[in-house]
């Protein structure tokens, strides 16, 4: 099989790309519209307006495009190949000596172009835009001076006090509630003249029903010509910073690039923190291209059989069945990896390997 592109490869690739783009735009538009309508309940909270909701939805489009692409790829590929099969164009190409394998390679190469674009988007535009969306939404809803810096974590302001936390998460309590825990916390207290008066460093800051508590605390008090240091194992922190607003402002694993995810995983391992959510997202990014390829190749054999008859509804149903089935299978293995604590690489490798085996079996059966 020669890998040099021929006119039939370009024709098949163009047909598949066009249908994938149409399906992708429909899914993306529907998802963004539903997300915007879901924001209606937040309008009026704090200074959050309809304009903020529209801007938030626009900022989330790159992340939604990245998430929806595998589903759009398999549905669009099946609809494009089904269209060629229904008009007997695939039969004509087969009569000219074009093998099923060559058709599958044409589809894979065409989808690889969009996959590369989505991988770049997932590492650059998508995390940046999603962080902007989160900061815009949280700042407007909670009326707080809060920002999420790329390398220095969460920043928040209350009067003349500034808080910086590298990481944090919400934890379940024994009574079924939740509490916010911030790690590697620094508090900067300024005097009325804007000079640094006190620098407080705490290993963690915990917020529960009793308020804020700092753990492993070190205070540095700056005088005109001296610095005084005091320490404490634990002490309460009198602050009106809203824990819900801070929790919403924390960077979520899905909003980080691969490099940032790796850095977060190493940081959490060094400090004995749970890194499973970050590992899940990290390996999901690496297996993203393989998932798209395996999912589409597993669906290609249907173009030589069941898609020759039936209308658009049948192709759409089969495409959605494949996409949802693969998504549920992947979610099942990733949740099992988190619960049983086995390697996420195994969990993410099993679904595409299973899909490729199905594709191989279907190809042999069609033959």
**What is the C-alpha to C-alpha distance for residues 158 and 239, in angstroms, rounded to an integer?**
8
| pTM for this entry | 0.76
Q: What is the pLDDT of residue 30?
A: 94
Report pLDDT for 32: 93
Q: What confidence score (pLDDT) does residue 114 get?
A: 92
> pLDDT-derived band of residue 334, with 50, 70 and 90 as boundaries?
confident
Tell me, what's the pLDDT at 3? 57
Chain segment 137-181, per-residue pLDDT in tens: 877 776 555 555 555 678 888 778 888 888 787 776 767 667 888
**How confident is the model over 287-326, as pLDDT tens digits?**
999 888 888 887 777 766 555 555 566 666 776 777 778 7
Residues near 348 by beta carbon (within 8 Å), at least 6 away in sequence: 283, 284, 286, 287, 291, 330, 333, 334
| Element at 167 (helix H, strand E) | strand 161-172
Does residue 4 register a pLDDT over 70? Answer: no
Handedness of CA 218, 181, 245, 262 (dihedral sign): positive
Smallest Cα–Cα separation from 81: which of 296, 358, 295, 293?
Answer: 296
CA-based R_g, the chain, Å: 26
Angle (CA) 186 190 192, round 5°: 165
Is the per-residue pLDDT at 135 higher than 90? Answer: no
Answer with the residue of higher pLDDT: 213 or 356: 213
Q: Percentage of the chain with pLDDT > 70?
A: 87
Lowest mean pLDDT among 55-59, 134-138, 230-234: 134-138
> Locate tokens 């005084």: which residue?
228
Q: Which pLDDT belongs to residue 149? A: 54
CA distances from 127 to 15, 118, 130 (A): 31, 12, 5
The answer on pLDDT for 244 being more than 80 is no
Average pLDDT score, the chain: 82
**Is pLDDT above 70 for 5?**
no
Q: Which residue is it, tokens 């005088």?
A: 223
The pLDDT of residue 21 is: 94
**DSSP structure string for 25-81:** HHHHHHHHHHHHHHGGGGTTSTT--HHHHHHHHHHTHHHHHHHHHHHHHHHHHHHHH
How much is the pLDDT for 118?
94
Q: What is the pLDDT of residues 85-104, one digit of tens each?
A: 777 787 787 777 777 778 88
CB 165 within 8 A of CB 153: yes
- Residue 253 confidence class, pLDDT cut points 50, 70, 90: confident
In the three-class reduction of DSSP (H, G, I as helix; E, B as strand; rest coil), residue 24 is classed as helix
Residue 217: pLDDT over 90? yes
As a whole number of angstroms, the distance between CA 351 and CA 158 comes to 48
Q: What is the mean pLDDT of residues 50-70?
A: 92
Q: Higher confidence at residue 304 or residue 41? A: 41
Quick one: average pLDDT of 178-198? 87
């Amino acid at each position: 099989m020669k890998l040099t592109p021929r006119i039939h490869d370009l024709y098949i690739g163009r047909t598949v790309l066009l249908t994938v783009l149409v399906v992708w735009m429909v899914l993306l538009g529907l998802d963004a519209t539903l997300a915007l309508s879901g924001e209606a309940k937040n309008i009026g909270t704090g200074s959050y307006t309809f304009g903020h909701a529209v801007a938030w939805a626009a900022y989330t489009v790159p992340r939604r495009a990245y998430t929806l692409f595998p589903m759009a790829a398999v549905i669009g590929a099946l609809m494009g190949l089904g269209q060629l099969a229904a008009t007997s164009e695939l039969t004509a190409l087969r009569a000219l000596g074009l093998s099923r394998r060559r058709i599958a390679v044409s589809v894979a190469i065409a989808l690889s172009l969009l996959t590369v674009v989505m991988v770049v988007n997932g590492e650059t535009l998508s995390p940046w835009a999603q962080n902007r969306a989160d900061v815009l939404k949280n700042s407007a809803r909670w009326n707080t001076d809060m920002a999420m810096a790329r390398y220095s974590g969460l920043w928040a302001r209350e009067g003349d006090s500034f808080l910086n936390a590298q990481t944090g998460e919400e934890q379940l309590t024994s009574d079924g509630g939740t509490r916010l825990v911030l790690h590697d916390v620094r508090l900067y207290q300024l005097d009325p003249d804007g000079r640094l008066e006190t620098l407080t460093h705490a290993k963690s800051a915990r917020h529960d029903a009793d308020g804020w508590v700092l753990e492993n605390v070190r205070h540095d008090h700056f005088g005109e010509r001296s610095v005084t240091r005091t320490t404490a194992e634990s002490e309460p922190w009198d602050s009106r910073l809203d824990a819900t607003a801070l929790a919403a402002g924390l960077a979520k694993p899905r909003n980080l690039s691969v490099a940032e995810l790796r850095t977060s995983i190493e940081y959490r391992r060094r400090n004995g923190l749970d890194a499973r959510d970050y590992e899940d997202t990290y390996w999901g990014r690496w297996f993203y291209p393989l998932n798209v390829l395996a999912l589409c190749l597993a669906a290609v054999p249907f173009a030589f059989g069941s898609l020759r008859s039936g209308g658009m509804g049948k192709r759409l149903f089969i495409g959605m069945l494949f996409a949802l089935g693969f998504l549920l299978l992947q979610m099942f293995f990733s949740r099992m990896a988190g619960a049983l604590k086995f390697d996420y690489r195994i969990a993410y490798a099993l679904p595409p390997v299973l899909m490729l085996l199905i594709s191989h079996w279907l190809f042999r059966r069609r033959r």
